[in-house]
Structure 1
């Protein structure tokens, strides 16, 4: 049967059975729309978790000293020799050392803070890192090399982008302070007193005061503190009488993400541990989102199955009502394949229209939810511009699911229609 003839017959049949076709398409649209909506929501929330709340690089492996070391496996201190052994592991592209400032520190600020009066003292944590780990995030040109400036000069400091987000969404509104961006903070200076604390014991060495200057914001910066050059941390620790020879951690950059599992095993074999707390938090949060999305997607698929059953019932009723019409078509030369194609084509049109309508409704509903969230939800930390993500595969998959559900429902009615005996049917 030619395509133009098939399309004309399908159009006439659907026009005659438009009420049944409408309800069948509506059932498909409900199932497909719910599925596309919930899958888009799960993908959108998962993206926020991966990219903003727990940003991780799949090639990075953070090595830390073991909590308890007996010295039996060669582990223990992360000194220069240990870093060389780690750098020599197969699959390691480069290494970045980290050293905590091992004495307490405080900052006391009393002055104008971006147009508002601020008087505050607080404990400060600091970690020194190799420049290459964060160099791309340094926004102050004169501090681009992220090196130790030496005694008496301002220490370049990076802040965490997540800490800035928490400040803007929680601390600033509560204290009626201005909202800040990373660009606004670049060049801002504040004093830091090392080997001084309001709550903790000091090392007994001298207290030194230096100015710190914000040079940028980074996802790799310390969340609850400042990130400074490694040489600066070494200098401060040595001046305060603290350990300045062993490192607090080493970040390994794998040549390829596929090499990470073997690197992890090799590091553990050397007696060190892996600091993957944030990665685990991201995985756990992602798993919870995926589980919830899967449950809602399963419910949506069940709606699609019910829609397929409804189409099967509607097509079966239509085939019985059109038995004589089908018999006439067969008597004038229509083959069984032609009859089967007519029934499946009718269902296919219903499925495509229902799938397209359901997908469009999901996109419109997602847009409305985003608008309502933007207007009525409080400005909480990490609030995204959109809670949804609709890749092309999800949109096309919704239309395809509607087609598949309709064809599945029409399969047996089409076989029954094709098996009609024209002689017996026309004889009454």
Structure 2
């Protein structure tokens, strides 16, 4: 049968069965729309978790000394210079960046004007020294290196800490909200070997210094400041605490596929992997995926019901048009032609329903985003959009509507093709 003749017959048939076609398409649209909406929501929330709440790089492996170690008895347990060199030489490792905590307590007591607001506050400060190359791309002012005693210490703050400050701490205390660019150049006093909550852990007097913010980084310490490694070593040495062993080493794999091999090699050296944030990201992502899967399953059930409804509607249509089908067969229509007519009718209904459901899901997502922007409080890590609709999801919604309709039309098309024109026309 020619395509133009087929399209004309389908158009006439659907025009005659407008009500049934509309409800069939509506059922498909409900199932497809719900599926696309919930999948887009799951992908959007998962993206926020991966990129904002727990940003992780698939190539990074954070190595730390074990909490309990037998030390030299098994040849491991310490992150000293020789161990770092062994880590650098592991197969699949592109680079190794050392880290060292400032192992004495520190506090800051700020009393002055803080971006137009008078502020008087004291708090504990944690400091982590890292190799400059690990965070160099996030430094916005000067060089990330220790200028020596008596000079300001360059400091990076965590982008996540800045987000928490802007969305919770600042509104509660009526302080100005800040951006990373605004903070660059801001200085604040730091007193080392002093604590508000514990006794000083090292001998010697308190040492006062100045820290200066030079940027914000995803790789910076969340609850503290990140300073150059040389500055951390100098401070630890000045107070007579351990300045030889590192607190951690960040390994960069040549390829994410090398990470499992590197992890096994690191554990074989008697060291541990600090993957707490990665596990939290995976657990949060798994919870989102589980919820999305349950809602997607419900949406698929709606699509199945739509397919059953299409099968029922087409079966009734085939019975009502038995004489019409018999006439078409009598004048030369083959069984394949009859099947094609019924399947084409279902395909039009399925495509219309799938497209309508997908468009409705996109519009509903847009409405939800606008309502969230206008009425939800400005909580930490609040995204601009809670949804993500990559093209396979959009195209998949339309294709799912088509598939559901064709599945529902399969048996009615076979029944229509099996009509005996002689018996049908004889009445």
Partners of 1:375 and 1:222 in 2: how far apart? 33
Gaps of 5+ in 1: none
SS at match of 2:400: helix
1:22-52 deviations in whole A, cap 9, x for unaligned?
0000000000000000000000000000000
1:158 corresponding residue in structure 2: 156
TM-score (norm 2): 0.99
2:423 corresponding residue in structure 1: 424
Runs of at least 4 residues off by over 3 Å: none
Partners of 1:205 and 1:266 in 2: how far apart? 41
1:218 corresponding residue in structure 2: 217
1:22 corresponding residue in structure 2: 22
Return the offset for 1:343: 0.2
Partners of 1:240 and 1:295 in 2: how far apart? 57
1:275-307 deviations in whole A, cap 9, x for unaligned?
000000000000000000000000000000000
SS at match of 2:333: coil
TM-score (norm 1): 0.99
Partners of 2:106 and 2:403 in 1: how far apart? 64
2:325 corresponding residue in structure 1: 326
User: How many correspondences in the alignment?
Assistant: 425
- 1:358-373 to 2 correspondence within 5 Å? 358-373=357-372
Partners of 1:319 and 1:396 in 2: how far apart? 31
1:246 corresponding residue in structure 2: 245
Is structure 2 residue 344 aligned with structure 1 residue 335?
A: no
Partners of 1:359 and 1:200 in 2: how far apart? 59
2:308 corresponding residue in structure 1: 309
Q: CA RMSD in A?
A: 0.6
Partners of 2:219 and 2:74 in 1: how far apart? 30
1:308-330 deviations in whole A, cap 9, x for unaligned?
00000000000000000000000
Return the offset for 1:75: 1.4
Partners of 1:177 and 1:293 in 2: how far apart? 38
Partners of 2:256 and 2:209 in 1: how far apart? 40
SS at match of 2:190: strand
Is structure 2 residue 140 aligned with structure 1 residue 139?
A: yes
1:311-364 deviations in whole A, cap 9, x for unaligned?
000000000000000000000010000000000000000000000000000000
1:140-172 deviations in whole A, cap 9, x for unaligned?
1x22xx111111111100000000000000000
Partners of 2:4 and 2:192 in 1: how far apart? 84
- 1:27-426 to 2 correspondence within 5 Å? 27-71=27-71, 72-140=73-141, 142-143=142-143, 146-202=144-200, 203-426=202-425
Partners of 2:263 and 2:97 in 1: how far apart? 16
Q: Is 1:327–1:423's contact at 8 Å kept on the other side of the alignment? A: yes
Partners of 1:50 and 1:228 in 2: how far apart? 25
Q: Is 1:66–1:75's contact at 8 Å kept on the other side of the alignment? A: no
Return the offset for 1:205: 2.2
SS at match of 2:99: strand
Q: Is 1:326–1:339's contact at 8 Å kept on the other side of the alignment? A: yes
Q: Which moved more, 1:343-352 or 1:195-204?
A: 195-204
SS at match of 2:204: coil
Gaps of 5+ in 2: none
SS at match of 1:117: strand
Return the offset for 1:206: 2.7
Return the offset for 1:201: 2.0
Return the offset for 1:77: 1.1
Return the offset for 1:73: 2.9
